[in-house]
Structure 1
Amino acid sequence: MVCRCENTNYNKFISGLFGECVSGTTGVVSFIFGWISICCWIVSFLPQIRMTFLMKRSEALSASFILCLVMGDLFNLISCFLLNQLFTQQILSIIFVSFDAVFIFQHFYFLRPANQKESLSTKFRLSESIAYAFIVTLIINNVLWGGFHNQFGLQLQESAYSVCKTPEALSSKSAQYIIGNVMAYGSLPMYLASRPGQIIKNFKRKTAVGLSLGMFCTTATANIAQLISLFSMSQEKSYLIQKIPYILGCCLPAICDMIIVGQWCKYSKNDNRSKKLQETQMEEKNLAPQHSELTIETVDMTTVSSMK
């Protein structure tokens, strides 16, 4: 919803598109990286969901990873509504829980042998790539058009728009505030506990088959962008101390994500070697009978020649 801010130095593009008051270079930088993080989180689980669907197998993901992720997202969902967070944060929390439901369904559905059909290729087809490019282009075009259009309207008739609303502050002694903060802080250890289980499972499996590199690269990017957003907002000691749980909630998962990416790169090389070795062995087996037939035909021809 288009709205104006009380201060005069606010960014009209951001206010006109998102209805938020952001001013100053640091505020804009923090806002941009915050939205980069949000966009990464929105698409982060799609690569793994796609791969699991195409391969018809779900044993690559750790059960503890999915469980901790679900618990963390549920705590985050409850805290967003109890603490009257921004509308965008509430929508994102719903999206995360929806993806979790898909994860759970796929995990248990494809664990059953009856549903493990012949896997399809996970390579991107041209038609699929074109569809993704069209969707991204359409979204970016609408965002830019809406932002510049509303910005132009604010510049012409700023007084015609209402003042941007901010979420109502809750009393620090109210049960809603206390429970909301408990849920918010409770989600952090859940997110932290999700990665070690996946790292251990990757180490035991010694393979990257069924594990999406795109998911962990995107989640690492989302955490790093969120970290930059936090530090861009303010470098004051009091602010940073207050944000320590959120800083740790970005740093530690990002480090674990990079470890998982390293595991994927290492084990995928071994998988490629094993695949090439199997293909070579299959080719040798296929050529062996043909060689025998040629030998028999040669012997028969030699015998006939000698008889003549």
Structure 2
Amino acid sequence: MIDTVHESLSSILGWMSIACWIVVYSPQILENYQLQSGEGLSVFFVIIWLIGDLTNLFGALLAGLLPTIIILAAYYSTCDLILLWQIYYYRWKASKRSVSPLVSDVSVPPGPASENTPLLPTENVTDNAHKRPSLLSQFIRYSAAVLFVLMTGVAAWAVDQHIHRGEPRTQPEEVVEWRSQLLGWISAVMFLGARVPQILRNLETKCEGLSPALFMFSIAGNTTYSLSILAASMDYHHLFANASWLAAD
């Protein structure tokens, strides 16, 4: 039997991490939907992430790592595929719209045309500017959202404990062998390398089209994810088996 305190702390942090990563892609997916575009994301960034998530998943399965790690890797891969689909789907929609350049999304003022009617329809730029909240209000809103999600993870842990109350739990045996370690380190390199094309993309787009919540949930998810591994055990064998997963964060 593993130490109860370490098990509980690792499990709580693991559930908090899962809660963060379940919703981490949602703001960006919603942002893409609202803009009808995924051009804020680098295609290479998403593809490299997908490769990293797949190697992470298979490596975790081979190594018999914590269930939370395996669940997260499977979920990440699914979300990566959704983001890729959005990018290419909205590109396809944009190419179809470009075939009919006379069709405009901006409505022309009603009524008969006169000499005062503008030749080109205009948008109310002032109204659009007022719609964008201040940085402080965004920070407060997103911080509250992150705190709520973390507490949801704690609640999920409590429910899990209630369901399995009285059942003995043993720590899954961690297997250190070259295949899982190789996949784990490939995954770590992919995750670290994926930042480069996205940073270059941000220089072009000035971060337009990216949701700040994506990064706040990522930071919270990565932090609790790493802490859940460390809280389980500080034994050398445990740390060595999970080294690549810690490096990826």
Q: Corresponding residue for 1:199?
A: 199
Q: Does 1:42 align with 2:56?
A: no
Q: Is the 8 A contact 1:75 1:186 kept in 2?
A: yes
Q: Corresponding residue for 1:287?
A: none
Q: Does 1:52 align with 2:32?
A: yes
Secondary structure of 2:248's aligned partner: helix
Q: Corresponding residue for 2:208?
A: 209
Q: How does 1:252-291 map to 2 (within 5 A)?
A: none
Q: Corresponding residue for 2:247?
A: 248
Q: Percent identity?
A: 24
| Alignment RMSD (CA, Å) | 3.7
Deviation at 1:236, TM superposition (A): 6.4
Q: How big is each residue's C-alpha offset from its partner over 1:251-305, in whole Å with a ceiling of 9 and x where there is no partner?
A: xxxxxxxxxxxxxxxxxxxxxxxxxxxxxxxxxxxxxxxxxxxxxxxxxxxxxxx
Q: Is the 8 A contact 1:54 1:122 kept in 2?
A: no
Q: Corresponding residue for 2:183?
A: 183
Q: Point out the structure with max Rg over C-alpha.
A: 1
Q: Corresponding residue for 1:82?
A: 62
Secondary structure of 1:211's aligned partner: coil
In structure 2, distance between residues paired with 1:233 and 1:165: 12
Q: Corresponding residue for 1:276?
A: none
Q: Does 1:64 align with 2:64?
A: no
Unaligned runs of 5+ in 1: 1-6, 8-20, 124-131, 155-160, 251-308
Q: Does 1:147 align with 2:161?
A: yes
Deviation at 1:32, TM superposition (A): 2.1
Alignment size in residue pairs: 205
Amino acid at match of 1:23: T
Q: How does 1:229-240 map to 2 (within 5 A)?
A: 229-234=228-233
Cα distance change on mapping 1:122 and 1:210 into 2, 3 Å: farther
Q: Corresponding residue for 2:141?
A: none
TM-score normalized with structure 1 length: 0.55
Q: Is the 8 A contact 1:33 1:229 kept in 2?
A: yes
Say which structure, 1 or 2, has more relative contact order (CA 8 Å, 6+ apart): 2
TM-score normalized with structure 2 length: 0.66
In structure 2, distance between residues paired with 1:22 and 1:230: 14
Q: Does 1:30 align with 2:10?
A: yes
